[in-house]
Amino acid sequence: MQRPNPDDFIAPPCHEDIDILFQDEHILLINKPTKLLSLSGKNPANLDSVHYRIRQDFPSALMIHRLDLGTSGIMVLALSKEISAKLNRQFSERLVNKTYTALLAGHLANEQGQIELPIAKGEFPYQKICADTGKPALTEYQLLGHEDYQQHQQKNGQKHPTSRVIYRPHTGRTHQLRIHSQQLGHPILGCDLYPSPDGSTEHMAERLMLHATQLEFHHPISGERIIAVCDCPF
């Protein structure tokens, strides 16, 4: 069986704009729309990305971190190599706190908890839980409440029991929140890679219901602790 080639993947077109939440001479804080790549791919069809768009207006902008294609929300970009180095150091030393809002399938029983499962690279595009080769991955969650979710285009359709949660990842593994949600038994609605066993949760929402709502870090020049917030759109 032939393995899928990552270079063959073509992202869907994204017609939403990037919102600039804050800017000074050193950094940008933006709201990335869902279904937009963070970085352009090797395939010319995947030129459109956060990096490509931002560089049109800010040629010196440098990416510090990424969000998955389907994930929306707050990102910080550096406007010089010096600032990039300072921000990258904060990320590598885990001085940056990230908070996400997610809508999970089903009703979570616990109001809070932790998911600590090691994540390893699987066959593209998947990650996998693996005690032998996986890197440590820790996710803290807090239940905000239970609700019935219904897709906008299915106003007379089925309502799905869901749980709205806040996620605080202590590590930054690829697909960490998505695969940890699946392992918890409550996949994120709209997730195509890590759905429920019957695959139904992928089609319960028109997008991945995961949004980066808060980013906390030290300003690379002033040292001021910044708590940047980006409201959840769902």
pLDDT in tens, 162-206: 999 999 999 999 999 999 999 999 999 999 999 999 999 999 999
Tokens 């020049």: give the residue.
221
Tally of structural domains, the chain: 1
CA 41 to chain centre: 18
- Using pLDDT thresholds of 50, 70 and 90, give the confidence band for residue 2: very low
Helix spans in 48-96 (H): 50-57, 81-92
Residue 164: beta bridge partners?
A: 103, 145
pLDDT for 6 beyond 80: no
pLDDT of residue 76: 98
pLDDT of residue 167: 98
- Could you give the CA distance from residue 151 to residue 132 in angstroms, rounded to a whole number? 40
pLDDT of residue 58: 98
- Radius of gyration for the chain, computed over Cα atoms and rounded to the nearest angstrom: 18
Residue 85 covered by a domain: yes
pLDDT of residue 156: 63
- Using pLDDT thresholds of 50, 70 and 90, give the confidence band for residue 161: very high
Residue 198 covered by a domain: yes
pLDDT of residue 104: 98
Residue 2 covered by a domain: no
Catalytic (active-site) positions? 68
Mean pLDDT for the stretch of residues 14-34: 98
- Using pLDDT thresholds of 50, 70 and 90, give the confidence band for residue 8: confident
- Could you give the CA distance from residue 127 to residue 71 in angstroms, rounded to a whole number? 16
Residue 88 covered by a domain: yes
- Using pLDDT thresholds of 50, 70 and 90, give the confidence band for residue 158: confident
Mean pLDDT for the stretch of residues 140-157: 83
Residue 1 covered by a domain: no
pLDDT for 121 beyond 60: yes
Mean pLDDT for the stretch of residues 50-54: 98
- Could you give the CA distance from residue 171 to residue 165 in angstroms, rounded to a whole number? 18
Residue 234 covered by a domain: no
pLDDT for 85 beyond 90: yes
Range(s) of the domain holding residue 159 = 8-229
Residue 183 covered by a domain: yes
Residue 3 covered by a domain: no
pLDDT of residue 36: 98
Q: Specify the pTM.
A: 0.94
Is 124 within 8 Å of 4 (Cβ atoms)? yes
Helix (H, G, I), strand (E, B) or coil at 87: helix
